[in-house]
Structure formats: structure tokens, C-alpha cells
Amino acid sequence: MKGTPRDRVRNTAAVLLDGLVTGFCYSLAPLLREWLDPWVRNFAGTWTFDPRVYYLFLPVAVVCVVISLWLLGCYGRRRRRTLRAAAPRLLGALILAQLLLVLAGFYAKEDFLSRGVLMIFLVTNFAGLTTVRWFIDRATQHHPRRRTIVVGTDTTALRLAEVLARAEEQDIVGHLDTGGASMVEERRVLGNVENTADILRRHTPIDEIALAVHDPATVAPAVAAAEDHGITVRQLLRPVASGLQRVYFEQVDGLNMLTLNASAADEMALLVKRIIDIAGAVIGLALTAVLVPFVALAIKVDSKGPVFYRQQRVGLNGRRFTIYKFRTMIEGAHEMRAELADKNIMQGPRFKIENDPRITPVGRVLRRLSIDELPQFLSVLKGDMSLVGPRPFPSEEVEAYRGRQYRRLGMKPGLTGLWQTHGRCELKDFAQMLALDEEYIQNWSLGLDFSILLRTIPAVIFGRGAM
């Protein structure tokens, strides 16, 4: 878990506490089910409780719940503060944990979890976790707020003070002047950074010094005084570029490195994404195999040419790969682009025309139902694509990219993405597509992927935006 040492201690304690609550609720569920048996027998039938087999899976249940809570963002500095706001995410994590537990029981060939036990476990676990969080919130409401001094008086320092006061509920005691342009009210300036030691003594207690200035010589007196007083120092980082960057520290064979990443950097979450991609690709290819004979026959009867169409596309960070689709256009369609260029309805490096004369009658049906995309599950299985991500475009279109347009290559391309759920081909401005892709990359999470997949289903069924 990333964050400050204080955050890591808090998160570790939260994980241990959640594990204890989950273990208790898991142990309680079969006992409650047995107690309720006389009332539910007429509806659910008789039920035999085998403690030995059931409790053998107690560690599995705890691990499933903790992993699910972590995957849905219930830990970390960005955890929502209010219990009401956190409850839906907490419930979603517990439902995911139940699915993982059932899957574990299936692979272990153990049929011991009745529906009644699972429901009782879900309800008691949700009640237990929310109750514990309520007590913790109540217990920490009157915890002394951290008193902080900000080094710097420019707009950046003002912004830093606002964020600390709002996001971490810190009391900003004041600012230290470093000799630059000041945007801070005079009454909020405690003095010059050179006199930090005296200022700390006058305004005791001080818990933290936040540096909004990056010149080592300028902030040296503040850092030295903080070290003498045992006070925490935090340095605001100025990214070398704005936008999508994530900033984190890592160690490489003993060397400390500051990494700025323009795309998703959570390796564990990306691993889970890859596992989901493989599972989805296997299911998708199985469906494709069933449809191939019928689609192939329709394509062959409708027009001359191969059943499958392949084209070179550009993927993650400019990697080129071959994409496969069911053919929906007449032979030689790609060579006709030049004579149809004046009918292009897209703005930017993208080619799309309405009522495209190159599309065959069968091709229109395949496109409307998105059946032509099914062979791309092969690219997902190979690792060139993902189930969710920015769509991969042809090489000649990518070669026309300029500046920020390359940012959409910062994540592995996908079968579906944000702009597919926002009207697909109804979007006619490449800048609008780019904005949606950047939004996806910047806010990527497993939860966002699941949301896009769910929204893709009605978009495909009703053919919204298909051409």
C-alpha cells in the first residue's frame, strides 16, 4: 500500500480489523442458519452443518473479503470519509467476495455453502464492517487536528494550504516568507523562513511543515528546524508536465527513484485486469467459434472476398499488431479511401463516412450487432488488446497524431471504452474521442472497467451509434 508511514500503519490496522470482523461473521453464519432452520425448512429444505469442512475455508473467506475491499478502493488515503458514501462500495466489495468464495469452493469440489449461509454471512459481515467503521469515525472525530506551517507565499503555496485544510482537515497556522512574490494575506505570514526555529517555538504546537518551495538552499532553515524539533516535513512535488501523471516513489536495487507515470501504475490491479481479459477472451472465442460457420456462410453468399479481414493497428505505447475482424466491406475497400476523402465526417486524424458505400448488406447487420468485432478476442488473448481501453486505430491514422493525441496510446487498447458507451460512431469530433480516452486513462480502475462493460451491453443490443 502506497502512502506515508502513517497511512500504511492505518491501512494495515484496517486490514487486520476487517479480517477479524470477517472471521467472526463467517463463524457466526452457520450457527445462525442452524438456529433459523425450523423457520426456513419449509422454504429451503433441510440443511446439515459440517463444522470441519466449513471452518477449513475460514482463511479463504477472510482473504476474499480483504482482497475485494482493496480492489474496490476501500483502503488508502482516498477512502471516502462518510459512512453513507462508503457503504455502496463496501457492499459491492462483499458481493464480489462472495463470488470469489463460491468460485473457490467450486474448484475445491466442496459443496458446503448453502444460499442461506451465504446470505447471512453477507448481511452480518456488512453490518459488522459498517459498525466498526462507525465506531472508528466516532472515536476519531475529536482527535486533535494537525497544525501545519506552509513554506512559501505564492499561488502554489496558497493552493497547497487550501488542499491540506480541505482534504486532510489540517489547521494551517500560517506561511513562511521566502522572499518571492506574495499572494498571502499579511496577517497569515508568520515571518521569514530563516527564522523558522523561533517561529516554531512561538506557535507551539506544530505537527508538520509543508514545503511549497523547491530550492534546497531556500528551505534548508525550515528543514533543519523541523529536524531539531522532530516535526514531519512534506515537500510538494512539481510534475515536469501537467495532465495524467501519477507520482510515486520506488526503489531499484537500493536506488530511490521518483516515477511520473502517465497511465495506470498499479501492478496488482493490472494483473487482475489481465486475468479478467484472459477469462473474457476464452468465453468470447468460444462464442465466436459457434457463430463462425453461420457468419462465414452469410459473408460468402453476400460478396466476394475472404471471411476475415485483418489490418495493422497501433497499441500500447506505439506497438503494432494485427487485428482480425469479420469482413464487412467489399474487396479493395481500403484502396478507395482516397476517392472518398471529401465525404469524411470526422474532424482530426480519423476516417469515417456516413452511409459508406463500401459496406456490404451483411456487413451492416454485423456492424450493428458488433458481431464483426468478435474475432478481436484473439488479440485480447494474445495480450495485444484488453476488454476495455481506447480503441486501436490503423497505422496511417496514428502517424497523423500530434502532441497530446499520442496520450491515448498510454494504455492497452480495448474492445470497448468510454466513447463506445457515449454513442460510438455518433461522435464526429476526434478531440471529443480523445477527451474520453484521456478521462478513462486518468481515472482507470477495475470498477470503471466493470462499469464500461455493463454499459456496453445495452449499447450493443440496441445498436446505439453503430454505423
Q: So where are the chain's domains? A: 5-140, 147-238, 267-461
The β-bridge partners of 253 are none
- Which CATH number is associated with domain 147-238? 3.40.50.20
CA atoms within 13 Å, Cβ hemisphere of 136: 14
Contact between residue 59 and residue 26 where contact means Cβ atoms under 8 Å apart: no
**pLDDT tens digits along 165-186:** 887 778 999 999 998 788 888 8
The pTM is what?
A: 0.59
Mean pLDDT of the chain: 81
User: Phi and psi (nearest 5°) for 186?
Assistant: -55, -40
Do 29 and 117 contact (CB within 8 A), yes or no? yes
Closest CA to 384 of 361, 409, 364: 409
Share of the chain residues as helix, strand and coil, in percent rounded to the nearest 5: 55, 15, 30
How would you label 424-445 residue by residue, b for 16+ Cβ within 10 Å and e otherwise? bbebbebeebbebbbebbbebe
Query: Other CB atoms closer than 10 Å to residue 107's CB: what's the count?
Result: 8
Residues paired with 256 in a beta bridge? 251
* Contacts for 174 with CB less than 8 Å, ≥ 6 apart: 149, 150, 188, 189, 190, 203
Tens digit of pLDDT at every position of the chain (467 positions): 445 555 666 778 888 889 899 989 988 888 887 777 666 555 555 555 566 667 777 888 898 898 888 877 777 644 444 566 677 778 888 888 888 887 777 766 665 567 777 888 889 999 999 888 888 766 655 556 789 999 999 999 999 999 888 877 789 999 999 987 888 888 899 999 999 999 999 998 999 999 999 889 999 999 999 998 889 999 887 755 555 556 777 777 777 777 777 666 667 778 788 888 988 898 899 999 999 999 999 999 888 889 999 989 999 888 999 999 999 888 877 777 767 777 776 666 677 777 778 888 998 898 888 899 999 999 999 989 999 999 898 888 888 888 778 888 888 999 998 877 765 555 667 778 888 888 888 888 888 888 888 888 776 665 554 54
Q: How many CB atoms lie within 10 A of CB 227?
A: 10
Question: What sign does the dihedral 418-424-427-431 (CA atoms) show?
Answer: positive
